[in-house]
Amino acid sequence: MKAFSFLLFLVISAEHKIISQPLDSNTFRINTRLSFYSFEKKGEILLHIPQNLIFSQLEVTLSTGSTEMCKWTGVPGKKMIRIPFTFDLPPSSHKVRATILVSGRVTRYITSTELPVLIYKSNEVKSDRLTGGLIVNRRPYFPFGFYCYSPVYPTLPEEEVVKGFNLISPYQRILPESFGERKAYMDRCAQLGMKVHYNLLSVSGGGGVSSRIEGLTEVQKRERLIKEIVAFRDHPALLAWYISDEPTGNKVPPEFLAEIYKIVRENDPWHPVSIVFMAPFMSSVKYADALDIVMADPYPVPVSPV
């Protein structure tokens, strides 16, 4: 078994506009605290402030469409501030716009981001961009688990859950004839309160142990990918979709995985998508459009000191 924990990579899609001012060190940016909202009626916008303006008097107005959501006035004193807001918006992706006035300056700064609102699902998984954690069952969740092999030994989940593990990630190939095996371990994990980091490697971004399927066209892989997502997207054991293992080493380009990511999110926007890198600080930024979670497997033990 190979143990792992999750590191979250914050993917922020903010549109930056500054009136009468080029993009430079004065640029502000915003993002929602949660990756999406569902049952909540209150939220937070995280406003990231350029270094040279953190001790300036600011007036920030948040709006969506023609509706003003809230105002914030003050001196930040730090690089990021939390701006609470209330909302009652239908399920959709809503654009939130921040207009920032700096005391003593004529320039008005404008930046925006998306506020995704989804229908609530009991098995949904959100990421918290303030803490870097996950929200599962409406509560903070820290995944602690391991990889294992397929078929999953029938009593493996109950043997490990009593040792503190709350997550498994079986290496597997998405074959029609083994669907029953996959459903069996998913169902058992749900009964025990464990989560599954679901391996889609054989029909998504490749890599991983025993995860290759020979003879499939890309069209056939996409068909199996979508069918598997639809089969398990509402399953109570699902934590996240695992789409690629060490793509740089396997020469899988970012553009290819960005397309896979788009397919996954179109079919299940309620769960995050992950990719594993040997050296995430060197390569993960290139794949920012293809992931929500960065995982790392540099394997320092036992070859090198921890």
Same fold, 14-117 and 143-296: no
Query: Which region among 11-15, 85-89, 99-103, 229-233 has the lowest average model confidence (pLDDT)?
Result: 11-15
Query: Which region among 5-14, 122-131, 173-182, 201-210 has the lowest average model confidence (pLDDT)?
Result: 5-14
Distance in angstroms (rounded) separating the CA atoms of residues 10 and 288: 9
**Position 8 pLDDT exceeds 50:** no
pLDDT digits (tens, 9 = 90+) for 242-300: 999 999 888 899 999 999 999 999 999 999 999 999 877 777 889 999 999 998 887 77
pLDDT digits (tens, 9 = 90+) for 46-97: 999 999 999 999 999 999 999 999 999 999 999 999 999 999 999 999 999 9
Q: Return the sign of the alpha-carbon dihedral for residues 246, 249, 254, 257.
A: negative
Asked if residues 6 and 125 have their Cβ atoms less than 8 Å apart, the reply is: no
When pLDDT is averaged across residues 226-252 and rounded to a whole number, the result is 95
Please count the residues of the chain.
306
* DSSP string for 111-167: EEEEEEE----TT-EEEETTTTEEEETTEEE--EEEEE-SSPPTTHHHHHHTTT--E
Residue 26 banded pLDDT, cuts 50, 70, 90: low
**Position 114 pLDDT exceeds 90:** yes
Asked if residues 134 and 6 have their Cβ atoms less than 8 Å apart, the reply is: yes
Distance in angstroms (rounded) separating the CA atoms of residues 115 and 117: 6
pLDDT digits (tens, 9 = 90+) for 140-189: 999 999 999 999 999 999 999 999 999 999 999 999 999 999 999 999 99
pLDDT of residue 117: 98
**Position 37 pLDDT exceeds 90:** yes
Q: Per-domain residue ranges for the chain? A: 14-117, 143-296
Greater pLDDT, 191 or 13: 191
Distance in angstroms (rounded) separating the CA atoms of residues 53 and 188: 53
Distance in angstroms (rounded) separating the CA atoms of residues 196 and 274: 12
**Position 23 pLDDT exceeds 60:** no
Asked if residues 73 and 59 have their Cβ atoms less than 8 Å apart, the reply is: yes
**Highest CATH level, class, for 14-117:** mainly beta
pLDDT of residue 17: 32
What's the pTM? 0.87
Q: What is the CATH number of domain 143-296?
A: 3.20.20.80
Asked if residues 212 and 202 have their Cβ atoms less than 8 Å apart, the reply is: yes
Angle at 265 between CA 259 and CA 268, to 5 degrees: 145
pLDDT of residue 212: 87
- From the list 83, 80, 82, 81, the residue with the least C-alpha distance to 71 is 83
Question: Distance of CA 115 to CAs 14, 64, 65, 97, 173, Å?
Answer: 11, 9, 12, 10, 35
Query: Which region among 13-17, 107-111, 131-135, 145-149 has the lowest average model confidence (pLDDT)?
Result: 13-17
pLDDT of residue 22: 40
Tell how strand 92-102 and strand 42-48 pair up: unpaired
Asked if residues 264 and 228 have their Cβ atoms less than 8 Å apart, the reply is: no
**Position 19 pLDDT exceeds 50:** no
Terminal alpha carbon distance of the chain: 19
pLDDT of residue 176: 96
